[in-house]
Chains A and B, each alone.
Chain A
Amino acid sequence: MDSVRLRSLMAGAFAACVSVSAFSVSAQAADAGKSKGFLVSWFHVAQYFDTQGRDCPKGINPGPEEYYKRELAAIGKTKAEIDDYLKNFLDLSKMSDTAPVVQMRGRVNGQPTDVYAHPDSVPDPHIFTVEGPYSFGFNLDGKEDTGNFIEPDTGEKGIDNQLYRVTNCINEIRPHSPTEYAPLPTSYWSVVQEVMPAMLIEISGIDDEQNDDNVTVAIYRAQERAQSDSNGGMLGGMSFHVDPNPRWHNIMRGKIVNGVVTTAPQNLNIATDPFVMPEHKFTQARLKLNIAENGNMKGRLGAYHNWYAYYWMYGVGTWGVEATNNIDLPGLYYALKKHADADPDPKTGENTSISLAYQIDAVPAFIIHDDQSTAGLAR
C-alpha cells in the first residue's frame, strides 16, 4: 500500500475513477460517506453593496488630497508648503522625496514619530463608518444588540460584522457594484493566490447531500499553488496535496440542512501571504456553504479576529497604501479600536477582537492526503 491515500473526491464519478489502483500509486476509496474537495478561488471580506445607498449616509471617506492637508497643517506646514507637498506627493515619481514628511507626522512628546508604527501619535480623525442596517455575516454571540446588522438575504437579525462597519465607507475596500468584489480586497487576494499555496476545503462523511447531521468540514493549506484557467478564473479539477503541517489543518464538525452545510464554532488558523497578513487566527469561526449544481461552492465564514492585525494588514503598506488606496491609516486604527466587539483585555477592558465575515468562493478539486498527517483524524 502506497503511503498516499485519497480522502477527498470531487463527485461520485470521480470516486469511481480513483478507487482503482494506478500503476505506480495505490489509492483507496474515501472513508464511509462521500467526500467533496474544493479549491478556494476567493477568500476575503464579505462586503455588502447597498443598492439604496443607506450604508454610508455621511459619504465615502475622502482621499489623501484631503487628509494630507489636514495632517500636514496639524504639524505646522504652511498652505504653500502643503500645496507643494501634495503636488509632489501625489506624483508617484516624486513620492519617495516627500513620503518621510507624512510618515513622520506623528508626535510623541513633541518629537516626530512614525505614524504607521504609532497610529495613536495623531488625533483620531473619525473616519466615516457604516450606519446602514444591513450586512452579510453571522450572529456570532447569539444576541440581537442595537449595533447589530440585518442579513440582507435572510432577514436574520443580530448580525455581528464590525469589520464591515469600519471599512465599507472606504472607497477602495467597498464594492463598486453588486456583482463585483471591492478593488483592494481583490488586489490582496490576487497576491495571495499568486504567491501562496492554495487554500482547500474538504467536506467528508456525506451520507445525504441534502440532510446529514454529521459531516466533517476541513480547511487545509495545499503544497501547490492554484493555477488560473484560460478565462482568468481558478482552474478547477486540479489535484492538491495537503500540507502535512498540522498547524494548517482545521477540522470542523458540521451538518447539512436542505443542502446547506454549516459548522459549529471553533478557532481556525489559515495562512495567507505575509504581505497581506501572515496568518488569519479566527476565533469562534463558523461556515455556511452552498454547493451549486455545477459543482462550485459559495459560502461565508463568520468569526472574530484580532483587530490590530487588520490595521497592520493595511498599515504595513504605510504611505503607499494611504496615497494609492484612499485609506487614512490612523483613522482606520481608531475606528477598528472603537468598534472592536469581543475578547476584552483583562487589564484594560478594551476589546481586542472584531467581528467579521468572509466571502468564500470555491471550485471542485481533488484533495490528496498523506497517511501520516491524517492519522488520528476523527472521522
Chain B
Amino acid sequence: MTLSFRKSLLTAAALAGIFCIGAPVQAVRAEAEAEVVSATNPTVLRRLTQLQYKNIIADIFGADIKIGGRFEPDMRENGLLELGAGRASIPAAGLAQYANMARSVSAQVLDEKHRASFVACTPANVKASDDACARQFLADAGQLLYRRPLQDGELGDLVAGAKLSADTLKDFYAGLEVPLATMLQSPEFLFRWEVRAPNGGNKDAWQIDAYSKASRLSFFLWNSAPDTKLLTAAKNGDLDTPKGVAREVERMLGSPRLEAGVRAFFYDMFGLDSLTSLTKDTTLYPKYSFKIAADAEEQTLRTIVDVVLTQNGDYRDIFTTRKTFLTRQLGTVYGVPIVGAAAGGTPDGWQPYEFPEGDSRAGILIQPGFLALHSHPGRTSPTLRGKALRESVLCQRVPDPPGNVNFNVVQDTTDPNYKTVRQRLQAHATEAMCTGCHKITDPIGLAMENYDTIGSYRAKENGAPIDTSGTIDGVAFSDAAGLAKAIHDHPATASCLVNRVYSYAVGRTPTAGERDWLKQEAGKAFAASGYKIVPLLRKITLHEAFFRVAPPEGVPTKAAALSPEAGR
C-alpha cells in the first residue's frame, strides 16, 4: 500500500466520522433549512465562493499553494452571488471535489518545501507522532480555517487523528496532513456559520456572536477569513462595542486587502463570473478566446479599482472614465496599440490606457466585460445589454420574455430588409406583447451598437450606418458615451450601489426598515462624500443593524424596525 493511498484512506476515514468534528455537509444544510429553535444555532450558512476559498488558502498558507479542482458553481440570487451563497449546498459529487482539493492543499502545506513556514514547533521524532506539536499546529491553523478557536473536543479529535496517522505512516508531517485535510473539507470551513447571540440581554436586539462578526466584517471588506488580529478582537470582546468595531473597521479599510474585498463586490454586482464560461462563435470572431474573456474581467475590475480606490474618486465615474487598462490581447479587440515598455522583453502585462476626449469608449459599460457578456455568441443584443444595465447598474427589474415569442425577425441578421438590429427590433416590437419591455431595454442597448459581440468597434452593420441615439428615462443621448454620462447622472445609479453593497454585506435583501435607512441616511451620506466607496463601506459596517439578526423563533419581540425575514 503506497503512502499516499494510505493517507487517502485515513482521510476518507476522517470524513466518514472517525474523527467526528462536524456533521456531513448535507446534514448541515438540512439542519440550516430546518426550524431554528436554539439561540446558539447558526442563523444562516453561506458556502464559501470560489474566490473566498482561494483567498483564504492564499492568506493562510501562501499564494504558491496551488488549488486544482472543480468548485461547485456559485449561485446568484436577487442579483448577487453573495445572497445565493446562503442557499448553496454541496452535493455528494461536489464534496468529492472539495475532498480532493483538501488533500492537495494539505499535502502542499506540509511538504518539505512549506512545512517549516507553518509548523512552528519541531517534533521530537519526525517518524512518529508528537501530540504537543500537532496540537499547536492544528490549533493555530484550525482557528484561521474555522474562523474561531477550536473547541477542546474538536481539537482533541484532530490531535488523535494526527497521532493515529503519524504512527501508522511513521511520519509526523504525513500524519498532520490527515487532520488538516479533514478541516479543509469540513462544513465548518466550507460554510460560513453566523451564530446568533443576545445583545446585552436585550431580547429585541439579537446579533451574531463576536466571531461571526469578525467573519462578516472580513468577508465583506476583504473577501477572506479574519486575520489573527480580528479574531483576537472577537475573543477580547472588542467587537461587542461600537468603539472596538470602529477601530477594527478603520484598520481593515486602511489595509491593502481592501482591494480584494472591493473587487469581489463588483465582480459579484456586475456578474463577471459569467465571463468564465462565455463562448462566442469563433468562426465569426476568431479573436475571441478564453484569454480575452479573462482579460475582460480583469480589465473591468482594474478600471473600477482605479476609480474608487486608487483615485478615491466618485463611484459613478466608473461609467464615464476614459482611463482603463489593456493587454496585448485586449488591444486586438480594441484595435489599439499597446505601446508600454516591455517587461523583460515581453510586454504581456497590463498597460494603462486613456482614450481621447470625445471617444465613445467611456466607462465599464463600453468594455468587453459588459458588451461581450451581454451579447449572443454570433451577434449583439441591445435587449440583453439594456436589460443587464437596468438590472445590475440601476437595480431595476426587467421581466423575462414570455415563452411564446417569435424571435425570427430579430435573429435573422441576413435579411436585406432589416440590415441593422435597430430595424430588426423595431419590426419585432410591432408584436404587442413585446413592446412594453423592449421600450425599457432597447434604446439603451442600441446606444452600444457600435460595438460588436466581442466589443470591437464597428461603424456599420451589413453596410448600413448604425444609429446609436436614444433616451433613458427622459434623458437623450447620441452615442454610448452619452449613455454613459446619463448613467453617471441617473439617480438610481448611486442608490442601486448603496442597496447592493448593503445586501452584499449582510447577505440578504434589505428589510423595509433598512431600505428606509439606506435611502435617508446611507444614500445621502454617500452623496455628501462625493460618492466615494470607502466612506460608504464605513457607514454600513458601523451601522447598528450591520450585525443584527432576527431573534430565534419562539422568542417574543417588539419587531420594531426589523421585519421577520431579517437574518434568515
Contacts and interface: CB of A to CB of B under 8 A. Distances in A.
B110 to A, nearest CB: 39
Contacts of A16: 356
Contact of A230 (B287, B323, B340): B287
A283 to B, nearest CB: 30
Nearest to A240: B328
Contacts of B331: 237-239, 366
B55 interface: no
Given A18-B337, A230-B287, A239 B342 contact: no
A119 interface: no
Interface string B338-367: 111110011110011111100000000000
Given A17-B336, A241-B342, A368-B337, A236 B287 contact: yes
B337 A24 contact: no
A239 B282 contact: no
Nearest to A241: B342
A235 B332 contact: yes
A241 B347 contact: yes
Contacts of B288: 230
Nearest to A233: B286
A224 B346 contact: yes
Interface in A209-243: 223-224, 227, 229-231, 233, 235-239, 241
A223 B341 CA distance: 11
Interface in A7-28: 9-10, 13-14, 16-18, 20-25, 27
A91 B90 CA distance: 52
Contacts of B283: 231
B352 A224 contact: no
Nearest to A227: B329
Contact of B337 (A3, A230, A239): A239
B7 to A, nearest CB: 38
Interface in B315-342: 323, 328-329, 331-342
B289 interface: yes
Nearest to A234: B286
A23 B339 contact: no
Given A223-B342, A230-B287, A230-B289, A22 B332 contact: no
A16 to B, nearest CB: 8
Nearest to B340: A25
Interface residues of B, number: 33
The dominant DSSP class at the B interface is: loop
**Among B337, B346, B356, which residue has the most Cβ atoms of chain A within 10 A?**
B337
Contacts of A25: 339-341, 351-352
B347 A10 contact: no
Nearest to B287: A229
Given A229-B287, A229-B289, A239-B347, A22 B335 contact: no
Contacts of B346: 223-224
A6 interface: yes
Contacts of A10: 335
A24 B324 CA distance: 11
A4 interface: yes
Interface string B250-262: 0000000000000
Contacts of B338: 239, 366
B340 A18 contact: no
Nearest to B348: A224
A272 to B, nearest CB: 19
A366 B337 CA distance: 6
A23 B352 contact: yes
Contacts, number: 101
B339 A4 contact: yes
The dominant DSSP class at the A interface is: loop
Contacts of A14: 335-337
Contacts of B345: 223-224
Nearest to A8: B337
A219 B7 CA distance: 60
A223 B345 CA distance: 6
B279 to A, nearest CB: 10
Contacts of A224: 328, 342, 345-348
B287 A23 contact: no
A27 B354 contact: no
Given A14-B336, A17-B335, A223-B346, A238 B328 contact: yes
A271 to B, nearest CB: 15
Nearest to A17: B336
B337 A23 contact: no
B337 A20 contact: no
B299 to A, nearest CB: 14
B337 A9 contact: yes
A223 B323 CA distance: 27
A25 B338 CA distance: 9
B328 A6 contact: no
A17 B282 CA distance: 26
Contacts of B339: 4, 6, 18, 22, 25, 27, 239, 368
Interface string A42-80: 000000000000000000000000000000000000000
Given A223-B345, A224-B347, A230-B282, A18 B289 contact: no
Interface string A123-143: 000000000000000000000
A362 to B, nearest CB: 15
Nearest to A19: B356
A3 B341 CA distance: 9
B337 A6 contact: yes
B223 to A, nearest CB: 28
**Among A6, A16, A21, A237, which residue has the most Cβ atoms of chain B within 10 A?**
A237
Nearest to B357: A20
Contacts of A6: 337, 339
B56 to A, nearest CB: 34
A22 B282 contact: no
Contacts of A4: 339-341
Contact of B332 (A24, A231, A238, A241): A238
A156 B347 CA distance: 45
A230 to B, nearest CB: 4
Nearest to B344: A223
Nearest to A243: B345
Contacts of B340: 4, 22, 24-25
Contacts of A13: 335, 457
Contact of A24 (B348, B351, B355): B351
Interface in A240-289: 241
Interface of B: 282-283, 285-289, 323, 328-329, 331-342, 345-348, 351-356, 457
Q: Which 7 A-B pairs have the closest CB atoms?
A: A366-B337, A237-B332, A230-B282, A229-B286, A23-B354, A20-B356, A239-B338
Given A16-B356, A25-B351, 13 more contacts: A3-B341, A4-B341, A22-B339, A22-B351, A23-B323, A24-B352, A25-B352, A223-B345, A224-B347, A235-B332, A366-B338, A368-B337, A368-B339
